[in-house]
Structure 1
Amino acid sequence: MLGTSPASGQTIPWIHRIHAMDIRSVDLNLLVVFDAMARHRSVGLAGEALGLSQPATSAALARLRATFDDALFVRAGTQMKPTPRALELAPAIHRVVESIQTDILQQAEFDPASADRSFTILTPDIGEVAFLPGVLRRLRQEAPQVRLLASALPRQAAAQALESGEADLAVGFFPDLQKAGFFQQGLFKTSYACITCAKSGPRVERLTRKQYLEARHVVVRPDGREHALDRFLEAKGWRRHVTLELSHFMSLLALLPGTDLVATVPEDIATVTERLVPIRRIALPFKAPVIDVQQFWHRRMQHDPASKWLRGVFYDVNRREANAGLPR
């Protein structure tokens, strides 16, 4: 085949013939064998490097020759010398093989110490108070440039945010995420406590059921979510006298003192509230339901290194033994 030299305008024979190939007809495994042959110049050594038998390596070499319509490697003494076509192909094939190994097949790593990124955590304000302080202390030590965005979303929006990748993790009581497509990991089990103002609230150690239902209740339902307690009372046919309904637990800090309101809240909220304002606990007239506090993530993040690290931090920091309260 003849071509024209750009410099002289003379016709010269092309050293290499260019073959149009459909990439679908090329077995990429053969490129790995080619790269090994180009480096070792020996069928036996190339096979050893790849963990292939000599017959299997010879068969692969035969397929390479057919694919490129060139001898590629020719025996000369104790070595297999590359043909001009093989010398031309070797650098490009090595780059392809190296790129597949390093950029595609090698498991990505996440280095928290050098990471400069943010994670979005779905949790109500109870989670911000109970889960984040310990996590932030851990991040300060291990991942100083990592940032957290805590957000509370309605039920359906939470699932969609995890599915789309807008959120990385949901931490708390999310019974609606216990479905196909999501992974979950338990952190601890807790229950409910009844709290009231230490000075103005009901002056009893334990409420009867009648007293409990007739008391002036403040109920917190973050983003309209119902609680296990709501379902428990509804199943019993018991209706509380609800004076005030809130969407944030921390509003109790300002609303309980100086009133006769009572609030039945998760144990962690009771602990935080009594640390900050003068309240006291009143024994409930029934055994309150158990709350399973878990972390949830979408299945597409199951093997993501950054997500695995984040889940590990939340688990290590917030995992509790049975009946253990909120740590200081």
Structure 2
Amino acid sequence: MDIRAVDLNLLVVFDAMARHRSVNRTAEAIGLSQPATSAALARLRTLFDDALFVRAGAQMEPTPRALELAPAVRRVVEAIQSEILQPAGFDPATARRSFTLLTPDIGEVAFLPGVLRRLRQEAPQVTLHAVSRPRTAAAAALEGGEADLAVGFFPDLQKAGYFQQALFKTSYACITCARNDAVGTRLTLKQYLAARHVVVRPDGREHLLDRVLEDKGWQRHVTLELSHFMSLLSLLPGTDLVATVPDDIATVVGRHVPLKRIALPFRAPQIQVQQYWHRRMQDDAANRWLRGVFYEVNRRDSGAGLPA
């Protein structure tokens, strides 16, 4: 028998007949008219080449073939009702689920601490896997299911097929070792460009700041280029290096090593930090819950800095 030729609605009629042993009661139970139920029973008899249910007094008694089929049909109907037709749900308290988050290392230090505290309280068996990809690879990671959510600055995802939600705006801060006497708390543009800069470009990413300087024709004296912001923890102390980094990074580094903040001699660009997801995940209950957690934990009012 070819399953493509089977109307699954007939299994519902069969299951009801096996339980109620009456055309009338079956019709009432499944919301069909009596003629429609009788017609469905006739189709079932043709499909299985068996009478299936025969009248015996006031009831329709099952044939041996019907008795053989009844448990399997019951399991199929129950599975469809309980597993396929139920609305999608997600219970974080009991879920054993791993989510992959696409974010640069700045996201790992800025976004994850608060989220992990929430997971410990609400979803103790849920795990997170943070990965970093070049901006140009972010779309493929989300489209292919390699990542569930992207959080950070991803201008390449501002296109059709993606949803986005703003978390906060931030800017840049210029920092150096607190004992660096070569520079004060303010620099002229000439002094700023001539200073010994350490530049961080995770995965080769270009920063908005790079574009601003390039558009104005300003070129910094770059002494060192890095791939990870957290390397600044060991490289800034005891040196005359300066670094212009997103404000959250300056805050995190300043919690571990003594820093001096230097006022920039130009207006720094604003960075719009958002979370992004592919449209195929829009209605997924688990992804919707994850987005809600990230939004509630990391959303900030304008001008607010990284929470303690």
Give the Cα–Cα distance (whole angstroms) in 1 for the partners of residues 32 and 209 of structure 2. 64
Pick the structure with greater CA Rg.
Answer: 1
1:119 aligns with 2:99: yes
Paired position in structure 1 for 2:13: 33
Unmatched runs of 5 consecutive residues or more in structure 2: none
Q: Alignment RMSD, CA only?
A: 2.8
Give the Cα–Cα distance (whole angstroms) in 2 for the partners of residues 201 and 48 of structure 1. 89
The structural deviation recorded for 1:125 is 1.8
The structural deviation recorded for 1:36 is 1.9
Paired position in structure 2 for 1:237: 217
- Of 27-36 and 158-167, deviating more is 158-167
Paired position in structure 1 for 2:272: 292
Given the alignment, which residue of 97, 102, 117 partners 2:77? 97
Cα distance per residue 1:148-204 (max 9 Å; x no partner)? 332323334444443443333322112223344444332222121222233315644
Give the Cα–Cα distance (whole angstroms) in 1 for the partners of residues 19 and 301 of structure 2. 57
1:254 aligns with 2:234: yes
- CA contact 1:119–1:148 (8 Å) conserved in 2: yes
Give the Cα–Cα distance (whole angstroms) in 1 for the partners of residues 224 and 30 of structure 2. 72
The structural deviation recorded for 1:130 is 0.6
The structural deviation recorded for 1:279 is 1.6
Q: 1:1-328 to 2 correspondence within 5 Å?
A: 21-74=1-54, 79-107=59-87, 109-200=89-180, 203-328=183-308
Give the Cα–Cα distance (whole angstroms) in 1 for the partners of residues 172 and 264 of structure 2. 9
Give the Cα–Cα distance (whole angstroms) in 2 for the partners of residues 87 and 159 of structure 1. 54
Query: AA paired with 2:240?
Result: D
Give the Cα–Cα distance (whole angstroms) in 1 for the partners of residues 38 and 180 of structure 2. 90
- CA contact 1:201–1:259 (8 Å) conserved in 2: no
Query: AA paired with 1:40?
Result: H
Query: AA paired with 2:290?
Result: L
SS in 2 for 1:145: coil
Query: AA paired with 1:39?
Result: R
Query: AA paired with 1:192?
Result: Y
The structural deviation recorded for 1:139 is 2.0
SS in 2 for 1:199: coil
Give the Cα–Cα distance (whole angstroms) in 2 for the partners of residues 271 and 83 of structure 1. 77
The structural deviation recorded for 1:224 is 0.6
The structural deviation recorded for 1:221 is 0.5
- CA contact 2:185–2:260 (8 Å) conserved in 1: no
Query: AA paired with 1:207?
Result: L
* TM-score between the two structures when normalised by the length of structure 1: 0.81
The structural deviation recorded for 1:268 is 0.7
Query: AA paired with 2:254?
Result: E
Give the Cα–Cα distance (whole angstroms) in 2 for the partners of residues 325 and 75 of structure 1. 78
- CA contact 1:196–1:202 (8 Å) conserved in 2: no
Paired position in structure 2 for 1:12: none
- Of 221-230 and 209-218, deviating more is 209-218
The structural deviation recorded for 1:77 is 5.8
- CA contact 1:201–1:261 (8 Å) conserved in 2: no
Give the Cα–Cα distance (whole angstroms) in 1 for the partners of residues 301 and 28 of structure 2. 52
Give the Cα–Cα distance (whole angstroms) in 2 for the partners of residues 235 and 38 of structure 1. 78
The verdict on how the C-alpha distance between 1:75 and 1:289 changes in structure 2, with shifts beyond 3 A counting, is farther
Query: AA paired with 1:256?
Result: L
Give the Cα–Cα distance (whole angstroms) in 2 for the partners of residues 125 and 316 of structure 1. 20
- CA contact 1:213–1:239 (8 Å) conserved in 2: yes
Q: Percent identity?
A: 80
The verdict on how the C-alpha distance between 1:266 and 1:51 changes in structure 2, with shifts beyond 3 A counting, is farther
The verdict on how the C-alpha distance between 1:61 and 1:113 changes in structure 2, with shifts beyond 3 A counting, is same
* TM-score between the two structures when normalised by the length of structure 2: 0.85
- Of 184-193 and 172-181, deviating more is 172-181
Residues matched between the structures, number: 308
SS in 2 for 1:128: helix
SS in 2 for 1:27: coil
Unmatched runs of 5 consecutive residues or more in structure 1: 1-20
Give the Cα–Cα distance (whole angstroms) in 1 for the partners of residues 121 and 141 of structure 2. 29
